[in-house]
Amino acid sequence: MSRLAGKTPKGLGLARSLTSTPSLLVLARGASRTTPSSAAARCHLSTNNKPPPKDIAAARSSRSSGGASFKGQMTQSITRRLERETADRARIAMMNQGSGAGRNLAFTFTLFFVGAVAWFCGTKWPQDPDGASTLPLSATVAPKHKTNRAEMEAAWADFADIVGPENVNTTDADATIHATSEWSSHPADPNQKPFCVVYPASTEEVSAIMKVCHVRRIPVVGYSGGTSLEGHFAPTRGGICVDFGRMDKIIQLHKEDLDVVVGPAVRWEDLNEELANDNLFFPPDPGPGAMIGGMIGTGCSGTNAYRYGTMREWVLSLTVVLADGTVIKTRQRPRKSSAGYDLTKLFIGSEGTLGLVTEATLKLTVKPASSSVAVASFPSIRDAANCVGRVVGNGVPVAAVEILDDDQMRFINQAGATSRQWKEAPTIFFKFSGTDAGVKEQIGIVKGLAKSTGSVSFDFAKGSEEITELWSARKEALWSTMAARRPEDHVWTGDVAVPVSRLPDIIEETKADVKRSGLTSSIVGHVGDGNFHLILLYSNAERKIAEDCVHRMVKRAVEMEGTVTGEHGVGLVKRDYLPHELGESTVDAMRKIKAAFDPYCLLNCDKVVRMQKPAKGEVGEW
């Protein structure tokens, strides 16, 4: 007891230290947690005769009266600090809110200002258009289409709204039919099929379909008869096929004006049957089954081309839906017009790459009063071709001049497609038309010319039944050759045309070349205008041999100042030959036209001209 009276108690010293040094507040908190022994010490100290310091007395007084303890002081301090921090945060938030509104206003003003300056500069100093008059292949950008399943399924709903769900077909069988044919020269890729086939019934529906495809970037291939031969309707980019089968009406016949308005799915045979009731007819006559839309697309001709010309001469006006759905009419119905660019002829032969034809106004002519057919056979193909040159050179106005070689005549006999047996020798079929006297005169002149060039027979029809019988052999040529196929064979029908004076040379050289190849073949042609066809049969293993034969024939024609295709069209098979016939700059001009009419390359992409650089090794050497 006496030892403690003369010294400062440890607890008291700590209390003084805590009250005088704020930084030791934490220690004070620890000291406030007393134990029983420390409480006894405080009781003993309170009985000490020495009075306690004033701060301790005050603290004791405060504790006894319920005032703030050390713990309370700490709590008050923390509370005040939290209140200050809350006030500071509120003040900063208000400042940020004000500055954020200011920043938004400044950004809006800046955006408006920049836009106004850009608009002003654009109107004052507009960007120069592309100055090139042509579009070289090296300057093209690969088309970007959207044909993923989700996009196509969404488009299906749009098409169903336009034409009705019953007129949108997604079956694999329908897709295959609209992708290729057994007589196509282009080998079909089984992965290249349309997602769906859409069957519109009017120009308005076709326009609506194209607007959907334009927005969604979906490629489109038009389809009518499906008789084309050079891969014209192969859907190389997928997308959809627009089949015009429901647009098969003869819309209006103007007998007095000798013209008729038709839909694209009207067959030329059906049209002529209807026109015959009014003693009228439409001259172009390609293969059986061809429809007006496809005939316009390929710029076809047929057996009557020598006398009446090709499809280009028999189309007055077209209604066309462009790639973005815009509908145009190329001209009115007069027989002649010099009003602006001739868009009618631009679309003829464009193969659906510039627009979709939904209506055509065609010229007609009066059926001749009399007609007849004659057939002459010759010892060799050169003799037959020489006879054609004589007929053409003497200006005999025959309606048609067709040549079939000895192989073709043999196939016709083997197929039994006609009612008679034929000499298996190179044969020329002549068609005559005009007045009775004119036809008789033409037959006499041609008979003499045939004899002078070595003909071994000359038969002419003496009635309508014989006319049908004699001419039937020419119309059965392709099908008769196809009937000679082996089970694994494909057919390739290619055509070229040369000046008539070079016709004997190219036919003879081509026939000898194919014989050396060992392939089964035949030759037919509209030789009155220098156009002939080579029909080849080949297996998959012989595909390269067939390609080489056709390549040499095409090259031979170009070297003779001819054309790579007389009437079949370009399609996929002949597109890479165009630069050799016409020159690179001419094809570049065609490419520029394609890009102008169809910037997204949606319409029958890859046909006629390339809009994308080929892969390495894709184009063979010339």
pLDDT digit string, tens, across residues 161-211: 999 999 999 999 999 999 999 889 998 899 999 999 999 999 999 999 999
Decide the pairing of beta strands 220-223 and 240-243: parallel
Cα dihedral value 412, 418, 419, 422, nearest 10: -30
Q: How far apart are CA 349 and CA 297, in angstroms?
A: 5
Closest CA to 492 of 451, 455, 515, 523: 523
SS3 state of residue 443: helix
Q: Is the pLDDT of residue 21 over 70?
A: no
- Bigger pLDDT: 104 or 293? 293
- Bigger pLDDT: 474 or 67? 474
DSSP letter assigned to residue 187: P
SS3 state of residue 123: helix
Core vs surface per residue 3-42: b (16+ CB within 10 A) or e? eeeeeebebbebbeebbeeeeebeebeebeeeeeeeeebe
Q: Which amino acid is at 82?
A: L
Strand partners, 520: 537
pTM of the predicted model as reported, rounded to 2 decimal places: 0.79
Q: Is the pLDDT of residue 322 over 90?
A: yes
Q: What is the mean pLDDT of residues 402-418?
A: 93
Predicted confidence at residue 120, as pLDDT, reads 76
Tens digit of each residue's pLDDT (9 = 90 or more) over 469-524: 888 888 888 889 999 999 999 999 999 999 999 999 999 999 999 999 999 999 99
- Least trusted range by pLDDT, from 63-67, 226-230, 265-269: 63-67
Interhelix angle for 381-393 vs 436-452, to 10°?
130
Domains and CATH numbers, the chain: 2-67 (no CATH), 142-367 (3.30.465.10), 370-573 (3.40.462.10)
Q: Is the pLDDT of residue 368 over 50?
A: yes
Q: Is the pLDDT of residue 38 over 90?
A: no
Tens digit of each residue's pLDDT (9 = 90 or more) over 530-586: 999 999 999 999 999 999 999 999 999 999 999 999 999 999 999 999 999 999 999
Q: Is the pLDDT of residue 239 over 50?
A: yes
Predicted confidence at residue 43, as pLDDT, reads 37
Tens digit of each residue's pLDDT (9 = 90 or more) over 131-144: 899 999 999 999 99
Chain-wide mean pLDDT for the chain?
87
Q: Is the pLDDT of residue 369 over 50?
A: yes
Predicted confidence at residue 442, as pLDDT, reads 94
Predicted confidence at residue 533, as pLDDT, reads 95
Q: Which of the listed ranges 28-32, 179-183, 361-365 does the model predict with the highest average pLDDT? A: 361-365
How far is it between the farthest Cα atoms of the chain? 167
CA angle 30, 33, 38 (to 5 degrees): 115
- Least trusted range by pLDDT, from 4-8, 225-229, 567-571: 4-8
Q: In which element (H, E) is residue 357 found?
A: strand 356-363
Q: Is the pLDDT of residue 2 over 60?
A: no
Q: Is the pLDDT of residue 426 over 70?
A: yes
Closest CA to 452 of 375, 528, 389: 389
Q: Is the pLDDT of residue 1 over 70?
A: no
Q: What is the mean pLDDT of residues 431-451?
A: 94
Q: Is the pLDDT of residue 28 over 60?
A: no
CA 361 and chain centroid, separation: 26
Structure confidence at residue 102 as a pLDDT band (50, 70, 90): low
Name the token pair of 288: 């059986």
Structure confidence at residue 97 as a pLDDT band (50, 70, 90): low
Cβ neighbours of residue 294 closer than 8 Å, sequence gap 6 or more:
224, 225, 226, 227, 228, 232, 264, 300
Q: What is the mean pLDDT of residues 257-271?
A: 98
Asked if 508 and 553 touch (Cβ cutoff 8 Å), the reply is no
Q: Is the pLDDT of residue 33 over 50?
A: no
Question: Percent of the chain beyond pLDDT 90?
Answer: 70
Predicted confidence at residue 30, as pLDDT, reads 40
Predicted confidence at residue 96, as pLDDT, reads 65
Q: Is the pLDDT of residue 58 over 50?
A: no
Structure confidence at residue 254 as a pLDDT band (50, 70, 90): very high
Core vs surface per residue 225-259: b (16+ CB within 10 A) or e? bbbbbbbbbbbbbbbbbbbbbebbeeeebeeeeeb
DSSP letter assigned to residue 583: -
Predicted confidence at residue 98, as pLDDT, reads 60
Q: Is the pLDDT of residue 618 over 80?
A: yes
Q: Which amino acid is at 510?
A: T
